[in-house]
Amino acid sequence: MQKLVVIGAGMATGRMLEHLRDTDPGAYEITLFNAEPRGNYNRIMLSPVLSGEKSFAEIVTHDEGWYADNAITCRFGEKVLSVDTERKVVTGEQGEVAYDKLVFGTGSSAFIIPVPGHDLPGVVAFRDLEDTTAMTEAAGKPGARAVVIGGGLLGLEAAAALRLRGMEVTVLHIASHLMERQLDPAAGYLLKKDLEKRGIEVLLEASTKEIVGNGRAEQVNLADGTELPCDIVVMAVGIRPAVTLAQEAGVACGRAIKVDAQMRTETPDVFAVGECVEFEGNLFGLVAPLYDQAKVLAKTLLGEDTSFAMRELSTKLKVTGCDLFSAGDFAEGEGREDIVFRDPARGIYKRLVIEDERLIGAVMYGDTADGNWFFGLIKDGTDISEMRETLIFGPAYQGGSSVDPLSAVAALPPDAEICGCNGVCKGDIVAAIEGGATDLGAVRAITKASNSCGTCTGLVEQVLSVTLGDDFVLPTAQPVCGCTDLTHEDVRRLIKAQELKSQEAVWQELGWKTRNGCHVCRPAVNFYLLADWPLDYRDDPQSRFVNERNHANIQKDGTYSVMPRMWGGMTTPEELIAIARAAEKYGATVKVTGGQRIDLLGIRKEDLPAIWHDLNEAGMVSGHAYTKGLRTVKTCVGSDWCRFGTQDSTGLGIKLEKKLWGSWTPHKVKLGVSGCPRNCAEATCKDVGIICVDSGYQIGVGGAAGMDVKEVERLVDVKTEAEAIEWTTAFVQLYREHAKYLDRPYKWVAKVGLDWVKEVLSDAAERTALVERFDVSQSVYQKDPWAERAEPEAARRFQPLADLTAQAAE
Amino acid sequence: MSWIDIGHIEDVPLRGARLVKTAVGCVAVFRTDETEVFAASNTCPHKQGPLSEGIVHGHKVTCPLHNWVFDLNTGEAQGADEGRIATYPVRLEDGRILLDGDSVAKRSAA
């Protein structure tokens, strides 16, 4: 009888031995080595063992009896030291064994990130029973904390299991969404939300700096300074094929042991199977192809003709309650189309990717019942042109349907705040409706909802509609764009009420019809998010118009204009010299603007970082002449020089500009401060215009001098400069928090009414709170964007990615 | 086709674009998703706006000058606008962006 030696008792070799014994039990005399002191078990079921849902005994696939019945010599707990392919012997710790055929099933080992402290006790992988046991023990301590590094399949299963055992769990993930290989950002967002719901903290874009502790892992420190105390660290960042033994034996390896479609290595009579193989450049981590390989290898060993082929794979996460499915290819390539379906009320997201009338990829979250049907379409390459319209609804559905535009409102819990001004929750409104209020006026009268600034009117109407059904006819309001049925006001209120803090959250929870918005809605949503959640949301340059992304104004010929800030319209000879030098150096046309500054026109994009650097050197910063943000504060010379000046208008203008610069607003904001009612600074047609008088300061708001011309309306008269600054800041913040994107203050004031603005701002506590919120936002956004982008790393992005003109001419 | 390595995927911002100078003029390389790129002419047929500076959404880009929208799969202008931009074969390999050198050298060869 021929001698077969198998190194490694994993899932692939276990399955291979089964096939071998089932087909021809007498073909080989078998010796099975395993470094772990046990036989084959179902490694992918370690998650339920870790969570306590299963015992180890339940996941053993081959027990002692099986090996005995099949006459397999087991050398468990014994490492193989070397393989001699010339003499055809394997040397273990207990001695040699000869083979006629040899199978490498050495599997893989966990990849451990080589950060300082990675070798401390208490840092474990999640590969075998020893790791599982170590984690279970750590979970035994009351209030124990675990940090899981890696937000992929394995890491999340470990995190969920440890949480089930009662640990406080934090998951660190380096990418911007969880399971980025299997999921798209939308599904990743829903998964994160579900995990957070069950008490797991998830930190994205988290880079581990070190693991520290006295003799064992006690704390993980991140690159951004975050410190996470812990009792155990689980590294689940990936696996590496274990191929050292094969390499030392001279078996040809690439990233793993190279095999052909019959699972043969390049060395005669030596085979390999499982996670340790490389086939046509592919490595394997999921179980389905490993079982295919096991079958092929068994047949090869029995002299049957067969070959292994790659096939499409699908992924499911084994975490109870997190229902996700992904299959095929849903990212790369040209010529593809998406079908997206979202149902915020039920937390469902589905995306299908279609190419050449075939389904090539699918991602689903929340409802994966049709997953296998879609997977079948992908595998079979079915022509889907006939069912395209209804495809996303699955096999049971014919005829098409549309998402209920009210589902976002229907999904709100009763305690969600609808009217921010009067603190009215959805439950209050529903109660009023059930109590007999069947129209907007009645709801307003009873609850005061939408009775103040009015921006929540649309939402109140939708609550009416959801509650009353067909008895209420919804007035049609103008939606933001084709991506949604909601109005700007609805979106703003829902971002606040549902605490939506990311674009993905908005797309999903508000049922966006597109993958990531369009050029109309995305800049608006980006602004709403950063205005409402300055500390949680990070500004997305890719959701901004070119000027705000490049921090200069694009001109019709594709060049840019550059305008440094001149505080309150004041400058110095040194600044003027620097501006003149820069104009000469970069070939600029020089224009004096209406906002009391100097514009340099005709700058090439490639030169922007350099001219910014030069202007920065002279102490100047960006004038934000390109933003929906604070532009200029125009002043007159005031009491410093003018014989009519009543107050220091220049000084106040400079103070206001220093306070407000860098802030993002719904549209541009221009201020003016005049030193006397002669109004040389033309303050009375600004968004905020201040007229200095003997008795103090008259603050007017809502002026315009563009397509519309309009004089400011008086907001308040105050006595001191400090009060003028406080009222102005509070007004700007109120505008930032409530206005529709691209409404100038005069349009917004007209909508909400100056009386309401006055009422809010006349409350001293409210003013203080508004100024405080403004200051919080400024702590993030009051930075010179030019200085940041003049740095070499950022400046590189202003150059072409490549220049092929020389190459192409060859 | 002759594939030319023009840079790494991370050099192009997600939902953004970068410019490549070629013999047929400026080509914009768009990154519509983590690992999804398109290449097309940088020049809007309307008023020659630089499309690499537009907002990228789904598989589309909006011209920064007058909001014409183009589908990056076909190059066709969307909605009521009529026009088309040239598209070029591009692919990703191990994170490197490869542009078809033949297609961007065509005009000079002719």
Q: What is the pLDDT of residues A421-432, one digit of tens each?
A: 777 888 999 999
Task: Name every chain A residue with its beta carbon within 8 A of the beta carbon of B40.
Answer: none
- Pairs from A706-714 (Cβ < 8 Å, separation ≥ 24): A706/A744, A708/A746, A709/A685, A710/A685, A710/A746, A711/A684, A711/A685, A712/A683, A712/A684, A712/A685, A712/A686, A712/A688, A713/A749, A713/A754
Least confident among A282-286, A558-562, B53-57: A282-286
**Number of structural domains found in chain B:** 1
Q: What is the ipTM of this complex?
A: 0.86
The architecture in CATH of the region A638-781 reads 2-Layer Sandwich (3.30)
User: Which run of H or E residues covers position A377?
Assistant: helix A371-380
Write the DSSP symbol of residue B103.
Answer: T
User: What's the confidence (pLDDT) of residue A113?
Assistant: 87
> Mutating which of B18, B57, B76 best tests the A interface, going by the most A Cβ atoms within 10 A?
B57
Of B26, B36, B62, the CB nearest to A331: B36
**CATH 3.50.50.60, applies to A123-237:** yes
Q: Which residue of A has its CA nearest to B20?
A: A802
Mean pLDDT of all residues in A482-503: 91
Look at A542 and B16 and tell me if their CB atoms are within 8 Å: yes
**Average pLDDT across chain A, whole number:** 89
Sign of CA dihedral B15, B20, B26, B27: negative
| Residue A402, pLDDT score | 44
In this prediction, residue A401 has a pLDDT band, given cuts at 50, 70 and 90, of very low
Average pLDDT over residues A439-457: 81
Q: Taking CB atoms and an 8 Å cutoff, what residues of chain A touch B26?
A: 800
pLDDT tens for each residue of A610-655: 999 999 999 999 999 999 999 999 999 989 899 999 999 999 999 9
Architecture of the domain spanning A323-393: 2-Layer Sandwich (3.30)
Model pLDDT, residue A399: 42
- Minimum Cα–Cα distance from B73: chain A residue: A335
A430 token code pair: 């529903």
**For chain A, what percent of residues have pLDDT higher than 70?**
96
Determine the residue of chain A that is closest to B14 in CA distance: A542
Residue B53, min C-alpha distance to chain A (Å): 6
A664 strand-pairing partners:
A629
Inspect the interface and report whether the beta carbons of A800 and B11 lie closer than 8 Å.
no
Each residue of A704-741: pLDDT tens digit? 998 889 999 999 999 999 999 999 999 999 999 999 99
CA A578, A584, A585 angle in degrees (round to 5)?
A: 85
Chain A interface test: which of B12, B19, B51 (most A C-beta within 10 Å): B19
Helix (H) or strand (E) holding A396: none
Please check whether residue B84 touches A, CB under 8 A.
Answer: no
- We report the CATH number of the domain holding residue B62 as 2.102.10.10
Topology of domain A407-495+525-538, CATH: Arc Repressor Mutant, subunit A (1.10.10)
Q: Give B-chain residues touching A523 at CB under 8 angstroms.
A: 55
Give the global pTM: 0.70
How high is the pLDDT of residue B109? 40
Confidence of residue A364 (pLDDT cuts 50, 70, 90): confident
Question: For residue B16, what are the domain limits?
Answer: 3-102
Q: Which amino acid is at A321?
A: G
Question: Measured between alpha carbons, how far is A807 from B10 in angstroms, rounded to an integer?
Answer: 23
Range A527-551 average pLDDT: 95
Q: Can you tell me the distance from the alpha carbon of A6 to that of A394, in angstroms, rounded to the nearest whole number?
A: 45
For chain B, positions 6-65, list CB contacts with chain A under 8 A. Answer: 6-7, 11-16, 18-24, 26, 29, 33-36, 38, 47-50, 53-60, 62, 64-65
Interchain contact, B33 vs A809, CB within 8 Å:
no
Please report whether residue B109 resides in a domain.
no
In a domain, B47, yes or no: yes
The verdict on residue B108 lying in a domain is no
**Half-sphere exposure (Cβ direction) of A174: Cα atoms closer than 13 Å:** 12
Q: Is the pLDDT of residue A50 over 90?
A: no
The span from the CA of A773 to the CA of A202, in Å, is 26
Q: In chain A, positions 545-574, which contact chain B (CB-CB < 8 Å)?
A: 545-546, 549-550, 554, 556, 558
Q: Which fold has domain A2-109+241-301?
A: FAD/NAD(P)-binding domain (3.50.50)
- Domain residue extents for chain A: 2-109+241-301, 123-237, 323-393, 407-495+525-538, 638-781
Is B36 in Cβ contact with A804 (below 8 Å)?
Answer: no
Tokens of A297: 């290898």
The per-residue pLDDT for A398 is 40
Confidence band (pLDDT; 50, 70, 90) for A397?
Answer: low
In a domain, B69, yes or no: yes
In chain A, the residue whose alpha carbon lies closest to the alpha carbon of B36 is: A332
Nearest to A13 by CA among A33, A28, A35, A27: A33
For residue A809, the model assigns a pLDDT of 44
Mean pLDDT of A17-36: 89
Under an 8 A CB cutoff, do A541 and B19 touch? no
- Matching CATH topology for A2-109+241-301 and A123-237? yes
Residue A400 has pLDDT above 60, yes or no: no
Selected for mutation to probe chain A from B1, B2, B34, B88 (highest A CB count within 10 Å) is B34
Sorting pLDDT into bands at 50, 70 and 90, what band is B55?
A: very high
Q: Residue A169 is encoded by which pair of tokens?
A: 């769990």
- Alpha carbon separation from A479 to A217, A483, A488, A489, A733 (Å, rounded): 53, 9, 7, 9, 25
